Structure 1
Amino acid sequence: MAHANPMIFVVGILAPVPTFYRVCKKKTTEGFQSLPYVAALFTSMLWIFYAYIKTGEILLITINAFGCFIETVYLVIYIIYCPKKARFFTFKMIFLFNVGVIFLVVLLTHVLAKERTARIELLGWICVVLSTSVFAAPLSIIKVVIRTKSVEFMPITLSLLLTVSATMWMAYGILLRDIYVTLPNFVGITFGTIQIVLYLIYRKSKPVKDQKLPEHKNHVVNDENASTAVSGENQGPNTTGFVDIEIGEKKQVQEQAEKKQDQQFVNARDQTEHNKTRES
Structure 2
Amino acid sequence: MEMLQLLSWACIVFTMGMFSTGLMDLRRMRAARSADNVQFLPFLATCLNNLGWLCYGTLKGDGTLVLVNTVGASLQALYIVCYLYYSNQRKRRALYSEIACAAAVLAGGWFYFTEVMPPGEPRRLEQLGLTCSLMTVGMYFSPLAELAGMVRSGNLERLSLPLTVATFLASTSWVLYGLQLGDYYITLPNAPGIVTSVVRLFLFGIFPSPAGQSSPSFSKRIQV
- Calculate the TM-score normalised by the size of structure 1: 0.62
Match of 2:105 among 95, 101, 105: 101
Preserved contact between residue 34 and residue 87 of structure 2 (Cα < 8 Å): yes
**Displacement, 1:172?**
0.7
Q: Kindly tell me: are residues 51 and 87 of structure 1, through their superposed partners in 2, closer, same or farther at Cα, counting changes over 3 Å? A: same
Preserved contact between residue 51 and residue 58 of structure 1 (Cα < 8 Å): yes
**Displacement, 1:30?**
5.3
Preserved contact between residue 138 and residue 191 of structure 1 (Cα < 8 Å): no
CA offsets per residue over residues 16-40 of structure 1, 9 Å max, x none?
3234313321234454322222222
Match of 2:33 in 1: 27
Residues in 2 aligned to 1:86 and 1:187: alpha-carbon distance in whole angstroms:
33
Instruction: Give the letter for the 1:120 counterpart.
Output: L
Residues in 2 aligned to 1:144 and 1:83: alpha-carbon distance in whole angstroms:
29
Preserved contact between residue 150 and residue 205 of structure 1 (Cα < 8 Å): yes
Give the structure with the larger helix fraction: 1
Residues in 1 aligned to 2:104 and 2:86: alpha-carbon distance in whole angstroms:
25
CA offsets per residue over residues 45-81 of structure 1, 9 Å max, x none?
0011112222x21221111111111112222233333
Larger Rg: 1
Match of 2:215 in 1: none
Structure 2 counterpart SS, 1:3: helix
Preserved contact between residue 29 and residue 38 of structure 2 (Cα < 8 Å): no
CA offsets per residue over residues 164-219 of structure 1, 9 Å max, x none?
2122111111100001111111122233333444444444479xxxxxxxxxxxxx
- Calculate the TM-score normalised by the size of structure 2: 0.76
Query: Greater RCO between the two (CA within 8 Å, min separation 6)?
Result: 2
Match of 2:214 in 1: none
Match of 1:9 among 7, 15, 21: 15
Instruction: Give the letter for the 1:109 counterpart.
Output: F
Equivalent residue pairs, number: 204
Structure 1 counterpart SS, 2:155: coil
- Unpaired runs of 5+ in structure 1? 207-280
Residues in 2 aligned to 1:66 and 1:111: alpha-carbon distance in whole angstroms:
27
